[in-house]
Amino acid sequence: DFKNARIFFVNGTREEADADVATTIWADWDVYESWRLRPEPGSETLSEVLMSGGDGDKGIGIRHYKSPFAFLTPETYVACRQVLPIGGEQVVIKQARTTFPPDGSPNYNIPRDCAPVRLLSECAELLPLSPRARFDYRFAVQSQCYKNVTGIDWTKYQS
């Protein structure tokens, strides 16, 4: 739903983005909110994805190296059905931390009733800011993005 879509951007210096210590935020006129991960109660590997004011969590950005395509990190994001206090059942995005048991094979820790998703970046113009905005775009990192995510030819990425 493009009417309700948010335009996110990686916030930091190029060096911070390359070192995976930048943050990801969205801005709208004179408000901004940061992408944050909060450990889900009772889980050692699952985090809730939140948008909140203030500084975002470092390390949330667009992977643009060591991969043939760009996506939001840290991996793995999952889409889960969850009943919320307001709005009833919704699909919510969470982050499942990959662990490595002694045998070295990855355990993606994807909960039952959730599906892994890869969040891809689509190019967009940043929205104009209010003259009263307490921030600006000088630290918006130019990140790799796609003109039309729905039109990606995935055969180019098969090995």
pLDDT of the residue at 20? 87
pLDDT of the residue at 55? 80
Question: Do residues 81 and 49 touch, judged by C-beta distance below 8 A?
Answer: no
Q: What is the pLDDT of residues 21-35, one digit of tens each?
A: 999 988 877 778 899
Q: What is the pLDDT of residues 70-98, one digit of tens each?
A: 889 898 999 999 999 999 999 999 999 99
pLDDT of the residue at 97? 96
pLDDT of the residue at 57? 92
- pLDDT category at 2 given cuts 50, 70, 90 is low
Judged against a pLDDT cut of 80, whether residue 63 lies above it is answered with no
Judged against a pLDDT cut of 60, whether residue 151 lies above it is answered with yes
Q: Which residues pair with 34 in a beta bridge?
A: 25, 52
3-state secondary structure 87-112: CEEEEEEEEECCECCCCCCCECCCCC
Judged against a pLDDT cut of 60, whether residue 1 lies above it is answered with no
- Indicate the pTM of the whole model: 0.83
Q: What is the pLDDT of residues 100-143, one digit of tens each?
A: 999 999 999 999 999 999 999 899 998 888 888 888 899 999 88
pLDDT of the residue at 95? 97
Q: For residue 137, is it left (φ>0), alpha (ψ between -120 and 50) or beta?
A: alpha
